[in-house]
Amino acid sequence: MWLRHHEAVPVAVIDVGSNTVRLHVARGGETILREKVMLRLGEAVERFGAIPETKLAEVGGCIAGFAAQAHRLGVESIDALVTSPGRQATNGDALLERVSRSAGVQARLLSSAEEGRLGFVGAVAAARGVSRRVVAVCDVGGGSAQIAVGTRRDGPKWLRSIDIGSMRLTSRCLNDDPPGDSAVRVARDEVARLLEGVVAPTAEVALAIGGSARGLRALVGSKLGADELEEAITILAQTPTSEIVALFGVDPLRVRTLAAGAIILAALQERLHLPLRVVRGGVREGAALELAAQPAAA
């Protein structure tokens, strides 16, 4: 699985997720540029079942701007990815078409398995101390969550996805600010229901990727064990957004969905029986490594 990449040519990945639209530009495995715009497509999908035309227009404008930025940096190869909002919206085909037209390339609608696989590739590339070890990677996005278990050399051999993420769980169960303990109990029950029957293989190392994991790192550190995740859930259940921002410096737009992200990660951590280590790599980094390895990127 381990990828060799061409050193000289920058590549770009545009990632359309439930919370954010992101641009990642890299050369030789090193990041040149990261940009994001929070459009909350998953919230629209949860409320209406489809993405309104006004949101599609926002997506188009955002991606056209990202593509222009990438080309100014010398990028010739762009990979445009659509994840859970494209899978879950009734007009996911319209979203895919808008992304393709705005990026100037044919966008890819990732299956949940492909999203989990790319997240695994990006995570193990960024992590230290995982060579020759069985690794579990947990990726909590806005609309779905993936668990992948495998090795750096061979890639993931076991993948599962659940159709809930931080944005969708917030919309269903955690709308108040702060959400409160009773809402947290309801959210925990919802996640447990969706994870029923999911039994992950034994891993030696567990990694956490995605915006929720990075946000929780600001609250309780880069090790997300059972105690740290419970501490984070308690803080987020009882503390208003304004205080979280003031105390921990977390992006206020991220705080809104952070309790949900912590609840999902806590459920995954419990099933893995390992503390989660937060790492920066993920789907975009995995896609960039694979794009750079293609002959067209040379």
**What tens digit of pLDDT does each residue of 58-104 get?**
999 999 999 999 999 999 999 999 999 999 999 999 999 999 999 99
Share of the chain above pLDDT 90, in %: 94
Question: Which value, in Å, is the radius of gyration of the alpha carbons in the chain?
Answer: 18
- pTM of the full predicted structure? 0.94
Q: Which fold has domain 128-278?
A: Nucleotidyltransferase; domain 5 (3.30.420)
pLDDT band at 169 (very low <50, low <70, confident <90, very high): very high
Share of the chain above pLDDT 70, in %: 97
The C-alpha atoms of residue 217 and residue 277 are separated, in whole angstroms, by: 9
pLDDT greater than 60 at residue 297: no
pLDDT for the residue numbered 295? 72
pLDDT for the residue numbered 29? 86
Q: Which fold has domain 11-112?
A: Nucleotidyltransferase; domain 5 (3.30.420)
Average pLDDT, the chain: 95
pLDDT band at 181 (very low <50, low <70, confident <90, very high): very high
pLDDT band at 7 (very low <50, low <70, confident <90, very high): low
pLDDT for the residue numbered 228? 98
Q: Which residues contact 97 (CB under 8 A, 6 or more apart)?
A: none
What integer is the mean pLDDT of 174-203? 97
pLDDT band at 5 (very low <50, low <70, confident <90, very high): very low
pLDDT for the residue numbered 1? 53
Going along the chain, which residue ranges are E strands? 11-16, 20-27, 30-38, 77-82, 108-109, 135-140, 145-151, 155-162, 205-209, 223-224, 276-278
The residue extents of the domains of the chain are 11-112, 128-278
pLDDT greater than 70 at residue 19: yes
Residue 4: Cβ-neighbour burial (10 angstroms; 0-12, 13-18, 19+): exposed
216 forms beta bridges with: none
End-to-end CA distance of the chain: 19
Residue whose C-alpha is closest to residue 154's, from 134, 169, 168, 138: 134
pLDDT band at 209 (very low <50, low <70, confident <90, very high): very high
What integer is the mean pLDDT of 222-235? 98
pLDDT greater than 80 at residue 147: yes
The C-alpha atoms of residue 251 and residue 20 are separated, in whole angstroms, by: 13
What integer is the mean pLDDT of 132-160? 97
Residue whose C-alpha is closest to residue 155's, from 267, 266, 289: 289
Q: Which of 1-15, 94-108, 235-249 has the lowest mean pLDDT?
A: 1-15
Residue whose C-alpha is closest to residue 41's, from 86, 93, 3: 86
